[in-house]
Amino acid sequence: LGRTEIDMQANGPQGVTVEDSMSMVHISMGINPPASEHLLSEPAIVARLAAATIGARSKTPWLWLVEDYARIRDKIEAVFDDFKDFNA
């Protein structure tokens, strides 16, 4: 799934964080329908791989996180000061 495509997850359309050439991080939301219903976003691919390979051995709620990317940003904020209030 490309950044230009709508990334629909359980909690609705999602935006991914991207860094531009000036090192500014911002949200990118796709506006085009996905080219295929079978495409997955990078976060969804990572979450599914982690859930399938690590499974119950992980304390990270991979599939829950990918339902709403704001949850991922909240986790980043907890360890990276520059992400403070990114979802605000």
Q: Is residue 1 part of a domain?
A: no
Q: Is residue 88 part of a domain?
A: no
How many domains is the chain partitioned into structurally? 1
Q: Which residues constitute the domain of residue 65?
A: 7-83
* CA triple 45-53-35, angle to 5 deg: 15
Q: Is residue 2 part of a domain?
A: no
Q: What is the pLDDT of residue 19?
A: 84
Q: In tens digits, what is the pLDDT along the chain, a chain of 88 residues? A: 988 999 999 999 999 988 888 888 889 999 999 999 999 999 999 999 999 999 999 999 999 999 999 999 999 999 988 888 888 8
Within 13 Å and on the Cβ side, how many CA atoms surround 28?
14
Q: Is residue 45 part of a domain?
A: yes
Q: Is residue 60 part of a domain?
A: yes
Q: What is the pLDDT of residue 67?
A: 97
Q: What is the pLDDT of residue 57?
A: 95
